[in-house]
Amino acid sequence: MKHIYKITLALIVLVGFTRCDYLDVVPDNVATVDYAFRDRIGVEKYLFTCYNYLPKHSDAYSNPAIMGGDEIWMYYPVTVYYGNTTTLKLARGFQNVNDPLVNYWDGRQSGRSMFQAVRDCNIFLERVFEAGDLDPYERDRMISEVKVLKAYFLFWMMRMYGPIPIMKENLPVTSTSEEVRIEQQSISEVVTYAVSLIDEAIENLPSRIQDKASELGRLTKPAALSIKAKILLTAASPLFNGNRDFSSYPGFKAKDESLWGQAAEACKQAIDACEEAGHRLYTFTDFKPITDSTRVKMSIRNSVCDKWNDELIWGNSGGGIAAFIQNMAHPHLDPTTVKNQVIKTFLAPPLRMAEQFYTQHGVPISEDKTWDYDNRYQLRTAQTDDRYYIKEGYKTAALHFDREPRFYANLGFDGGRWYGQGKLSDEEAWTFKNKKGQTGARVSAGLYTVTGYTVKKLVHYENTVTENSYNRNNYPFPIIRLADVYLMYAEALNEANGPSDEVYTYLDKVRERAGLNGVVESWDQYSNNPEKAKSQEGLREIIHQERLIEMAFEGQRFWDVRRWEEAEDLMNEPIQGWDITGETPEDYYSVRTLFVPEFTRKEYFWPIKETNLIVNSKLKQNPGW
């Protein structure tokens, strides 16, 4: 008879405590795993339990990549409007070893225990064969899904903690205390095992979801291959591959030059599977009376907000639906609804996020020889030719003029036009007005943007606001979309072999959708460093900025700048914005510093809670903690 697994001593040793499990309750309220696997219905419920452990990617309270870095800021100290402060504390340098913030090891401080998730995946894989009425095809598909979920949970933990215990199987309850004191495995071992799980699963996953009424959000072959590509790309990156500063700590590996090639191969396999399954870069095709420039902006916005569109490879449904995050990003546009406190406007990109987007020529603002970088904070009045981006006659910062379409698709700013929310033509589009006394200005102790910017990209254009309500078009928050995989492939190819036509091809696919010319053409014509795109080092810098732009506000920057080992530079820069108390353009467009973060070397990885090290003496604390 198969072992009946419970929250074993192994799990106690790993996380230091036990907690009640919401799984599988029989009618007399006695929890039992046996009941879960007696038939097909029970197995399906247990499968969804495994899915339910997925981090809530759209939740600014529990996803550290939304509010825990430097990409989005908000007022502090927090008022009652926000509630949970954990990710804010992480961003402000309050991480600690006594009770770590956003703790996905123990399932504390807004985190969820990924060891619990792995445990339940192991239970499923062990017990699924007991359901006699389960069709073999369904069983094999479910097994494959759980294997990929298990790989993803391990990847999530590795990215946070580095070396981790793997727990390939749950230990039986007869295990000795010494047997359950599990050691951390090396990054190489974690990566190898996670990739092997995905390789085992690929054959039995569908290429597309056929039953869209009930199965959207479940894993597919393109999604699994894309996860594999991301795992290998992360493993090849400088933080994980040959990091000298961490080389004396167990589990960190020596540099392996072949990893970038492996990552490139995995990315190409994922791209081929995605394109064969019908995934493509999103374009806005709805018949609307709009200009080509607005159509490009809507293609960028809707690549995220148009639910289950063809660019989305895997989206987080359930707890990852983009619901409250839209309230947090949406500004007040309509003067008749300014008292509506459902609209929060918490999410405030700092000034540096506005500066990272390209000029209209597709090169950085500091490199474009036609763009006045030194006077970017000076005032300028919008003319007729600017009217689809900035309200004609409106005085705003020069920084907001002559920028690429992704700047206007991603950011709401004072004087910027805002298509949607009931205004479905270019001429009628809203204007976001953020100075003191205007419609979008601070209306209470907490409902406002502290920097003067808001995240337009995350707000569905068909949402509507009334005096007292907010009607949202919710969508699954993207975990991986096709543009992400294209950029991963370009990065891996460049790192493996340097610039090539293949690298430019996949970079330019993303740029073309964004209304830009190709990399080589743009740098040749407009950059004060025209050779930059032709060297491996220069192209690396371009690819990094391209990712930061294309994937902005989707929870990618937080992890990317870490794996590139660029966080110490980027995340120690002051958090700045405009003076939102200003009533006139001259007063408003004064740069003010909100916070000066201190990102230290140790913060590349999460600390392990100290009590866990006491309970399990085989665990080693992460470097610097």
Rounded to the nearest 10 degrees, the angle between the axes of helix 482-497 and helix 501-513 is: 150
Nearest to 620 by CA among 165, 111, 93: 165
Structure tokens at 328: 């947090």
In the chain, the amino acid numbered 513 is R
Can you tell me the distance from the alpha carbon of 86 to that of 94, in angstroms, rounded to the nearest whole number? 9
**Cis amide linkage into residue 597, ω under 30° from 0:** no
- What is the structure's pLDDT at 619? 96
pTM above 0.85, yes or no: yes
Can you tell me the distance from the alpha carbon of 565 to that of 562, in angstroms, rounded to the nearest whole number? 5
Q: Which residues pair with 294 in a beta bridge?
A: none
Nearest to 362 by CA among 213, 522, 225, 535: 522
In the chain, the amino acid numbered 153 is F
The strand ranges marked E within 532-605 are: 575-578, 591-595
- What is the structure's pLDDT at 19? 35
Chain-centroid distance of CA 187 in Å reads 22
Q: Which residues pair with 390 in a beta bridge?
A: 416
In the chain, the amino acid numbered 186 is S
One DSSP character per residue, 472-489 reads: ----EEEEEEHHHHHHHH
Rounded to the nearest 10 degrees, the angle between the axes of helix 40-52 and helix 136-161 is: 20
Residues lower than pLDDT 50 in the chain: 1-10, 12, 16-30
Nearest to 282 by CA among 261, 263, 305, 266: 305
Which long-range contacts does 525-530 make (Cβ < 8 Å, 24+ apart)? 525/361, 526/359, 526/361, 526/362, 526/363, 526/367, 526/368, 526/369, 526/370, 527/363, 527/364, 527/367, 527/368, 527/369, 528/367, 528/368, 528/369, 529/367
Question: 206, 141 in Cβ contact below 8 A?
Answer: yes
- What is the structure's pLDDT at 179? 79
Question: 581, 435 in Cβ contact below 8 A?
Answer: no
- Tens digit of pLDDT for each residue in 351-384? 999 999 999 999 999 999 999 999 999 999 999 9
Q: Are strands 312-321 and 591-595 parallel, antiparallel or unpaired?
A: unpaired
The strand ranges marked E within 224-336 are: 312-321
In the chain, the amino acid numbered 154 is L
- What is the structure's pLDDT at 8? 43
103 HSE (CA, 13 A, CB side): 19
Question: 372, 385 in Cβ contact below 8 A?
Answer: no
Percentages helix, strand, coil for the chain (3-state, rounded to 5) are 40, 10, 50
